[in-house]
A and B are shown apart, each in its own frame.
Chain A
Amino acid sequence: GNGNGKKDEL
């Protein structure tokens, strides 16, 4: 999982 969110999206 990715708890920090997809901060690579706009």
Chain B
Amino acid sequence: MNLFRLLGDLSHLASIFILLHKIQTTRSCRGISFKTQALYVTVFVARYLDLFYRYVSLYNSVMKLFFIASSVYILYLMKYKYRPTNDPSIDTFRIEYLLGPCVLLSLIFNYKFSVTEVLWSFSIFLESVAILPQLFMLQRTGEAETITTHYLAALGVYRALYIPNWIYRYITEDGVVDPIAVTAGLVQTGLYIDFFYVYFTKVLQGQKFELPA
């Protein structure tokens, strides 16, 4: 564990608390893509199946359980408690275009052709693109509540911090590198670049998040 990874994980935790706070205080999930949230549940369940057969640390297990539980809870809030505030008609990204290629990629690129390893690879590839329905929705509506942009920023920071973490580990752990996680991670972080540009130039200057028409 190094500082980059710890701060990255904390940023990931923060993003979930920001999202929960947004939903609870506005009593609405407006502006949040159900599809992206459902993809995150898929990602966490597929990857953290290893809770049953691999123990890393208490920190690792607690975080995994938290990510599974909180992502399922968010789906529940969107689907039941605040269902009337969820508008599927603007959440139109076709996720089969993400799921198909991720299944294919995980069958080709994995560390061992076994059920658990293919699922692990699948979760890594799927996580890298899971934010696309959310970004697509943002693009479509052209604006977002400030709190929603803080959620996305925290999520983007989490991904960005994993990059120096990998560099640090490469140097300190004798050339250790995970090509699947690093490639997918770079792609994932890249997806946030446009968002970050608007976030830093507008939201952090006190303006509303609005995309040029």
Which residues 1-10 in A have Cβ within 8 Å of B in the complex? 1-10
What secondary structure prevails in chain A residues at the interface with B? loop
Flag if A5 contacts B67 (CB, 8 Å).
no
Give the interface segment out of B81-89, B131-139, B142-150, B170-178.
B170-178
* Residue of chain A at shortest CB distance from B124: A5
Flag if B67 contacts A2 (CB, 8 Å).
no
Which residues 162-182 in B have Cβ within 8 Å of A in the complex? 162, 165, 169, 173, 175-178, 180-181
Complex interface: chain B residues within 8 A of A3 (CB)? 111
Given contacts A4-B111, A5-B120, contact A10 B178 (CB under 8 A): no
Given contacts A5-B178, A5-B180, contact A10 B63 (CB under 8 A): yes
1/0 per residue, CB under 8 A from A, across B9-33: the answer is 1001000000000000000000000
Given contacts A7-B54, A7-B120, contact A2 B177 (CB under 8 A): yes
- Write the nearest CB–CB distance from B166 to chain A, whole angstroms: 8
Number of residues from B at the complex interface, CB < 8 A: 24
Complex interface: chain B residues within 8 A of A9 (CB)? 5, 162, 165, 178, 181
CA distance A8 to B2 in the complex (A): 12
CA distance A2 to B175 in the complex (A): 8
Flag if B176 contacts A6 (CB, 8 Å).
yes
- When A and B form their complex, which 3 residue pairs have the shortest distance between CB atoms, in order from nearest? A5-B178, A2-B176, A6-B178
A residues bordering B, Cβ < 8 Å? 1-10
* Sample of 12 further A-B pairs with CB below 8 A, known A3-B111, A4-B112, A6-B169: A1-B177, A2-B178, A5-B178, A5-B180, A7-B56, A9-B5, A9-B178, A9-B181, A10-B12, A10-B60, A10-B63, A10-B64
* 9 A–B contacts from the bound complex (CB under 8 Å): A2-B173, A2-B177, A4-B111, A5-B180, A5-B181, A9-B5, A9-B181, A10-B12, A10-B64
